[in-house]
Structure 1
Amino acid sequence: MNNELTEFDMALGSGIAAFESRQFSIAAGLLSPLAEAGNPQAQYRMAIMAQNGLGMHENHPLAFRYMQAAAGAGLDIAQHGLGFMYLEGECTEKDAVQAVRWFTKAAEQGLAGSQTTLAKMYEEGRGVEKDQTMADKWYRMAGFEGR
């Protein structure tokens, strides 16, 4: 079992390194089986590649499925990514209410980008009732003082 875990960790590390060095076809080959096995880090990166056609053909249904799986597993950056998919209508239908739901999950984990986006959504009343008090709360949490 330890050998399998080590091989898994090595494949994940190599796949992430390939992704970050923009060797997307290598990353896809290494990360695809790990994403299918349920690894959120691999799922998130496969979602980005499938969404943008990096190292593979664009595949929006696959991108959405992987992003949703990684977000559901609690990965903050995937929750943020899923929020943007819903906000912009990329890989899925636009749904501001779902965007708020996923940005909130990421914001509650301390992701400043989600906190800022959520603040703006409260400020504008997108997907939620307009609420300047909540907007100010999220801006403060994101590090914007004096709001």
Structure 2
Amino acid sequence: MRATGRVALLVAATICGVSTACAFDVKSTVANVNLPDLKSEARIDQAFRDGTRAYFSGDKQAAVDGLKFAAEYGHPAAQWKLGRMYAEGDGVTENDLQAFDYFNQIVAAHADDSPTSPQAPYVANAFVEIGNYYRHGIPNSTIQQNGRRAREIMTYAASYFGDADAQVELANMYLAGEGGDRDPRQAARWLMLAAKKGQVDAQAKLGQLLLSGDGLPASPIHGLMWLTVALKRAQTLGYDVSKIREMQENAFSFANETVRRAAISLANSWLTENKTVVAAADH
């Protein structure tokens, strides 16, 4: 077994140790049915599609019914969508422990899947969600706050799956000294990886970090460059740009003309040269 496989199993086993999902037997929930027929891939996929259509048409109850059917037989996209719905109280009663269990089912079954597999985005995000639950804990449950475990889980999602959101969360943990030593250099490394993928939060945070020189050499040109990239990307995506605009304009006002010209030129060059990356990030 390769190293990443061993890490994945260790992470999944650690999570499963405190989750009810790992002991969940879907067969016991279905009575008097033809199980081989129900478990056919086509029928499971159809249930997922029906649930998705019902969700977007506004029929959340029908959506839950279809998604639960698919989720019970291991459909990762259905499990992920139900996890999000329970986490947000979207069409169901908000229940973080139930959300955790759905995300955990994905991790337990797919932690060592290829990062290029169709389900990889769902798996990576499930790791991020579980990591955040361990960062904060779930009240009145066995999921207690555990920064060290959260950092391990985020590291796996950030490194093995290369997930940009995980990389940003991991950088935040390094900056705050959450779950281990504070390390701005490691934070900058993870932010750079996510920023190059077009992640707007990473670009803005990296810009701030390079301007401040917090724990690493300050770089006003590159700091202003990344803030400018973040502002233009946020405007294109229709985000609320007020906070990023304030940071970028503040940095611009303190920079001399040489720094301004160099930063704007680098920002425009990056956006031009990375159109494919930006387009992929936007979808």
TM over 0.5: yes
Partner Cα distance (2:48, 2:153) in 1: 25
Q: What is the one-letter code of the residue matched to 1:97?
A: R
96, 115, 119: which one aligns with 2:147: 96
TM-score, length basis structure 2? 0.46
119, 125, 128: which one aligns with 1:80: 128
Task: Identify the range of structure 1 (37-46 vs 50-59) with the bigger mean alpha-carbon deviation.
Answer: 50-59
Give the conservation status (yes or no) of the 8 Å contact 1:25–1:54.
no
- Judged with a 3 Å threshold, the aligned counterparts in structure 2 of structure 1 residues 14 and 112 are, in CA distance, closer, same or farther, namely same
- Judged with a 3 Å threshold, the aligned counterparts in structure 2 of structure 1 residues 140 and 21 are, in CA distance, closer, same or farther, namely farther
CA-to-aligned-CA distance 1:25-74 (integer Å, 9 cap, x gap): 22211011222222222111112222333222333332221111213323
Task: State how many pairs are aligned.
Answer: 147
Give the conservation status (yes or no) of the 8 Å contact 1:47–1:67.
yes
Tell me the equivalent position of 1:45. 81
Residue 8 in structure 1 maps to residue 44 in structure 2 = yes
Tell me the equivalent position of 1:132. 184
CA RMSD in angstroms comes to: 2.6
**Counterpart of 1:54 in 2: which secondary structure?**
coil
Q: Which has the larger radius of gyration?
A: 2
Partner Cα distance (2:187, 2:163) in 1: 15
Unaligned runs of 5+ in 2: 1-35, 112-122, 196-202, 211-283
1:12 Cα deviation after fit: 1.6
Give the conservation status (yes or no) of the 8 Å contact 1:88–1:94.
yes
Partner Cα distance (1:136, 1:14) in 2: 43
147, 158, 183: which one aligns with 1:107: 158
Q: What is the one-letter code of the residue matched to 2:89?
A: G
Partner Cα distance (1:128, 1:12) in 2: 40
TM-score, length basis structure 1? 0.82
CA-to-aligned-CA distance 1:52-109 (integer Å, 9 cap, x gap): 3322233333222111121332301111111122223246322212221222222121
66, 72, 88: which one aligns with 1:36: 72
Partner Cα distance (2:74, 2:45) in 1: 13
